[in-house]
Amino acid sequence: MSRPTVGVALLGLGTVGQGVWKHLTAQRGDLEARLGVRLDIRGVAVRRRARARGVKVPSRLLTTDARRLVDDPRSGVIIELIGGVTVARTLVLRALRAGKTVITANKALLCEHGPEVLAAAKAGGGRLFLEGSVGGGIPIVKTLREGLVANRFDLIVGIVNGTSNYILTRMGEDGLSFDAALEEARRKGYAEADPSLDVDGVDAWHKAAILGFLAHGKWAPRSRALVEGIRKVSPADIGFARKFGYTLKHLAVVRRDLRAGWMSVGVYPALVPSGDILAKVSGVNNGITLRGDVVGVTTLAGPGAGADATASAVLGDLADALLEIRGGARPGADLHALAKAGRSVPMAPEEAIVSPFYLRLTLKDTHGVLAGIYRTFARHKVSIARVVQYEHPDTGTGTLTLSTYPGNERDMARVVAELARLRTVLEPPTLLRIFAP
């Protein structure tokens, strides 16, 4: 029996695009043999044809006209690796409305325009694959949609941004300042010239929103989520965390109260118990823990970014897409049914989001200063669990670090706002969450 031929178009030849091209061409024969198809690479869309790249692509395949590739009737699979939410959005919507299969690693597009993308797929009969959008080489999308589809998840927590994890690892292991660790990350190619998407938590937020959708069918609005980066973290905070038995990590946290029904999504630096498996995920690696009502707790960890890790995810999606095109079963939970089920999921109110907190204050060393601090906590019914005080001789100042018993976000925000107004508090308070499974 002859093998069917499937046309594939690649949009974008940046870092990930080059990784996909390298591995697709190297493994092409094996993929075709395993999947029973022939691949017809219809073209590779680039912004500029004449540009030095780390891979060689035949000039006949290079084009600056991405729309032509999308509209090509023989391009059955479109691999979108352009990034951004302007040109990529237009091309993805066009392909899906034409009934084509789209594979994307574009977390910003999915997070910001997920409902529109799914609506286009439903209207045109197109199919969407998104493994490369979260976790790099960690098969978290397939795990949620297939392997653990029988579970309801009350907790998904992970380290999903390799740049932030590398910076915090270097600050913790060698006492580097944030700026020094960031500069080192830039030199090693782990951080962009403008690292704001990574260190301000935006990239992690995009991924957290996708995880929330895959688990619960709801796209969490940014306005109802806590999104914090790592700029405010100091070596002092990392040192204090270690003394308390914690490791400081940047987390994406998706919670669901299976009784009340609400979900919450947050991205923020947090103190993780040093014995937790996520505390041991170092460098640019990612790790994601899932807690399901059937499987219990399971953790996936591995390379979370880079050309090879993401290329592995994209090519895994390509394999699934080709099997489906050959007439196989559609893999995984249906995204449209998932979105329909998620319409009734409410976002958690602030008073329902509960955790212990860590707070660092720089204080004027004067009589009665601690009494004022304690009164503020008592007024808002937040209980202090532990206090460590350090004096700075000859400066007239001191540092107070404390942890609280579990309290809610609303009350703790009121405590911090009131403390910041005290004349004895010399710098803006540093507030971090303590991760409590």
Domain ranges of the chain: 5-136+308-344, 141-303, 351-434
Provide the mean pLDDT of the chain. 95
pLDDT at 374 over 90: yes
Residues labelled catalytic:
207
Q: Which CATH superfamily is domain 351-434 in?
A: ACT domain (3.30.70.260)
pLDDT at 307: 87
pLDDT at 50 over 90: no
Please give the average per-residue pLDDT across 369-397, as a whole number: 92
pLDDT at 393: 81
pLDDT tens per residue, range 118-128:
999 999 999 99
pLDDT at 330 over 80: no
d(CA 92, CA 132): 15
Task: Give me the half-sphere count of Cα atoms (radius 13 Å) on the Cβ side of residue 212.
Answer: 34
Lowest mean per-residue pLDDT among 37-46, 62-71, 158-167, 186-195: 186-195
pLDDT at 305 over 90: no
pLDDT at 52: 86
Please give the average per-residue pLDDT across 268-272, as a whole number: 98
DSSP-assigned beta bridge partners for residue 358: 403, 432
Q: Would you state the CATH architecture of domain 141-303?
A: 2-Layer Sandwich (3.30)
The pLDDT-based confidence of 151 (bands split at 50, 70, 90) is very high
Please give the average per-residue pLDDT across 390-413, as a whole number: 93
pLDDT at 392 over 80: yes
Please give the average per-residue pLDDT across 264-272, as a whole number: 98
The pLDDT-based confidence of 367 (bands split at 50, 70, 90) is confident
pLDDT at 51: 86
How is domain 5-136+308-344 classified at the CATH fold level?
Rossmann fold (3.40.50)
pLDDT at 1: 56
The pLDDT-based confidence of 333 (bands split at 50, 70, 90) is confident
pLDDT at 257: 97
Give percent above pLDDT 90 in the chain.
89
pLDDT at 121: 97
Please give the average per-residue pLDDT across 35-62, as a whole number: 94
